[in-house]
Amino acid sequence: MEGSDADRINYIRQDKFILYKAASEILADLKDLLTHPPRHRMPCRLIIAETNNGKTNLIRKFIELHPGDPNVDGECIKLPIIHVELVEPDDKHLYQQILKAVFADFPPKGNASERREQALTILKKIKPKLLIIDEANNIISGSVNKQRACLNAIKHISNEAGISVVATGTEAAVHGFRTDSQIENRFENRYLPKWNDGRDLISFLSTYEGNLPLKEKSRIWQDSMRSIILLRSEGTIGEIAKFLEAAAIYAIRNKIEQITPEVLNACGYVSPKARRMGTQLR
């Protein structure tokens, strides 16, 4: 708050993680998976949220809380969590993403079987507790055969390496996982719901305001502003943060130093609905 306007604006634009009830519950659940004893079928999770509703930031926070160990005096690095993004609905791609995540070299022209054997050998050596597969909804973008191969790869990794798998995605991931009854039974769903008006939203907005470097109190949790924020953001945490970032920057640049209903309406934030309409008009 004592910094220059430029410093404060730069701070506002930085990524922040605000803990809230749903996120706290999922973080606690994932932490339990890290300490789960080995068994034939390890527990797995599918974290579901709409686009821009916090699942990626939640995973990043979890990884930050449980970092790897370079283990310079040991035989290999220690990684409690391996995090990959499923860009393509393909088993070979999934194995390659795992190899990249553990900094392994692999020949450029290897087939899926070779990638699988190399990835499983390394996983058994490193012995991670969790494999996190981000953007699992991309599974449904492939052919039926590719979807089946990718889901089989996920099962095989969990079984052979003896690790829990945590997948994240939109509702499309749920539909993709339902095409395989074994996958559907193995993965318990966890949801990051959109925000509704109520005590949890009031608490979140109060905490968020405490992280804004404005010189005057805004009380964005009060009814008059809370309703504007919820309506225009459409209830996703990413849009709420984008809206409040724009409002806070506007308040600093215009020497207002607090967020008011007038600032919310003047700050230049464009709601998802307005963006969709603009796309359609073009």
Question: Three-class SS string for the chain?
Answer: CCCCHHHHHHHHHCCCCCCCHHHHHHHHHHHHHHCCCCCCCCCEEEEECCCCCCHHHHHHHHHHHCCCECCCCCCCCECCEEEEECCCCCHHHHHHHHHHHCCCCCCCCCCHHHHHHHHHHHHHHHCCCEEEEECHHHHHHCCHHHHHHHHHHHHHHHHHHCCEEEEEECHHHHHHHCCCHHHHHHEEEEECCCCCCCHHHHHHHHHHHHCCCCCCCCCCCCHHHHHHHHHHHCCCHHHHHHHHHHHHHHHHHCCCCCCCHHHHHHCCCCCHHHHHHHHHHC
**Of 191, 217, 251, at which residue does a domain stop?**
191
Among 148, 165, 191, identify where a domain stops: 191
Query: Do residue 87 and residue 168 come from a single domain?
Result: yes
Same-domain check for residues 146 and 186: yes
Q: How confident is the model at residue 73 (pLDDT cuts 50, 70, 90)?
A: low
% of residues, the chain, pLDDT over 90:
84
Q: Which residue in 89, 179, 95, 90 sits closest to 139, CA to CA? A: 89
What is the separation, in whole angstroms, between the first and last Cα of the chain? 41
Same domain? 211 vs 185: no
How far CA 66 is from CA of 63, 69, 94, 124, in Å, comes to 5, 10, 23, 19
Residue 165's pLDDT band, with cuts at 50, 70 and 90, is very high
pLDDT at residue 71, as a whole number: 61
Residues 187 and 201 in one domain: no
Do 59 and 183 belong together in one domain?
A: yes
Same domain? For 158 and 58 the reply is: yes
Do 51 and 97 fall within a single domain?
yes
What is the predicted pLDDT for the residue at 220? 97
Average confidence score pLDDT of the chain: 92
Both 199 and 184 in one domain: the answer is no
Last residue of a domain, one of 170, 191, 212: 191
Burial of 18 per CB tally in 10 Å (0-12, 13-18, 19+): middle
Question: What average pLDDT does this structure show over 35-44?
Answer: 92
Does residue 237 sit in the same domain as residue 177?
Answer: no
197 or 2: which leads in pLDDT: 197
Q: Is residue 30 part of a domain?
A: no
For residue 153, being part of any structural domain is answered with yes
Give me the number of domains the chain comprises. Answer: 2
Decide if 252 contacts 214 (C-beta within 8 A): yes
Q: Which residues contact 47 (CB under 8 A, 6 or more apart)?
A: 26, 55, 58, 59, 166, 167, 168, 169, 190, 191, 192
Task: Count CB-CB contacts under 10 A for residue 203.
Answer: 14
Shared-domain flag, residues 162 and 277: no
Render pLDDT for 113-137 as a digit per residue (tens, 0 to 9). 999 999 999 999 999 999 999 999 9
| Domain assignment of residue 27, yes or no | no
**pLDDT over 60 (residue 72):** no
Tokens of residue 164, six digits: 């829990």
Q: Are 125 and 223 within one domain?
A: no
Least confident of 7-21, 64-78, 149-163: 64-78
Structural domain range at position 256: 5-14+195-281
**Residue 146 falls inside a structural domain:** yes
Work out the pLDDT band at 70, boundaries 50, 70, 90. Answer: low
16 token code pair: 């922040």
Say if residue 259 is in the same domain as residue 149. Answer: no
